[in-house]
Amino acid sequence: MKNSRFNVFVRENNGNELVYNTLRGSISRVNPELAQLLKSKDLAPLNNSSLVGLVEDLKEQGILIPPRLDELEEYAQMHRRWKEGRENVEFNALLTYDCNFECPYCYQGRGEKGQQIHGFKSMSPELLGATKKFIKKTTANRGARKLELVLYGGEPFLPGAREMGRELTEEVSEWARKNNIAFGLHVLSNGSLIDENIVQWLSGYRTRLQIPIDGDPEMHNKYRFYKEDRRGSFEDIARVLGMTRGTDVETHIRISLTDETYPTMERLLDELKSRDLNHVYPDFCYITSFTNACADFESHTLSDLKLFRIMPELWRKAHERGFPLDIRPQVQPLPCSSVADGSYIVDAFGEVYKCWELVGLKEHMVGRIDFDGNLEKTAVYEDVLERNPVNIEQCRKHAYLPSCGGGCVCKAQWQSKTYHTPGCGTEKYLLKDKIKVYTETLDLTDKPTTQAGSFRLQKIEGRQQPKMSHCYVLV
């Protein structure tokens, strides 16, 4: 037996250490003596008949593995299966580039920049029909058993876009039902146009809804205001969040951290709690200036080191106030769905992209759908799919690899002008804090501890199934 190359050790305040195996997703707690032994690579002391039970637990958690097991090849095969897999498909419908907000960090472009980039274009009825054909044809041809539809824009609940989104959802979901294909709906919206009827409709699909909030009421209103009269939107958004309480809408708030917003986070959490909005998931996220459309906002973005020093404390503060958190570290064969063969973003021009933050940038277009629902690919499509972190020297050597999948594709492109370099970010700086804070949120009183000689092991959580990450939750 030997140590897994994918063990990550996190020291707790009492001297014990948490061991997270990034390839299996297990979380264990070991005492200092066992931690020191596992880090030393000299496992001879475990060759003792009195330690058989402990050794079996370590194997079960994936901390110890067979001597000839090639874990890098195991990950490479997992990465390939998820990238090329045909069981799941995801279609993102950018129904319109238009929006009733004019947020200063908009990566798609606002004002004159937006007019130049996309002209606030909305899907035509003909393109909506082609998108339906594309979704059905692609799903059927791939033999997929699970279909996820994502509605966004711009703002997907603007008049016109709202009706298109409803028509698309109802037709595709019914087609999926008749063909025994599981259907899931995700919606990204600024929230301002959602009413009780829309909430009821979303609840019928058990929708995952994400709405941005950018700090306490005063700060949010400075960032997220109506284009027409520059009126702040906090009260409107809070009212909508209240509508989702007690429904089957899984509601997330995307909280952007900038130099101006992060000092207001505690006030925001207290404000939401005072309004009995503890049912929402607070997703603390970063703002980038990857595209020219938002380049003038760069002075407000936070450095990685500063940003990721803030997040763990915000998670703790949110947990203390009773908010649910979605921070459990996951086994991620891919960094996000953008590099999966069965994932597509169709914009209002019928152009197809892989990454949300690259939408509208023609040099990153991976194809175009015709009115018969066929995808005409560009060379970029295969270039993106050829990205393999196992072939990236910095990635293949890192214990974090199965947690980050090589990092953000957009960040790699932004920094190096290629998809084939590391896009280090969230996991590089936050994985250990995720493990620690997540464990702090658990009740571990019923988790048994194995004591063997001077060694002690507590199995907190066992192996986890791999999970697809989605870019719209950047934690």
The residue type found at 395 is C
Domains of the chain, residue spans: 2-69+443-461, 86-320
Q: Could you tell me the fold of the domain covering 86-320?
A: TIM Barrel (3.20.20)
> Residues 100, 192: contact at Cβ < 8 Å?
yes
Give pLDDT tens digits along the chain (475 positions). 899 999 999 999 999 999 999 999 999 999 999 999 999 989 999 999 899 999 999 999 999 999 999 999 999 999 999 999 999 999 999 999 999 998 887 767 666 666 666 777 999 999 999 999 999 999 999 999 999 999 999 999 999 999 999 999 999 999 999 999 999 999 999 999 999 999 999 999 999 999 999 999 999 999 999 999 999 999 999 999 999 999 999 999 999 898 999 999 999 999 999 999 999 999 998 776 555 655 666 777 778 788 888 999 999 999 999 999 999 999 999 988 889 999 999 999 999 999 888 888 899 999 999 999 999 999 999 999 999 999 999 999 999 999 999 988 888 888 899 999 998 877 888 999 999 999 999 999 999 899 999 999 999 999 999 988 765 443 3
Strands (E), 321-431: 343-346, 351-353, 367-369, 375-377
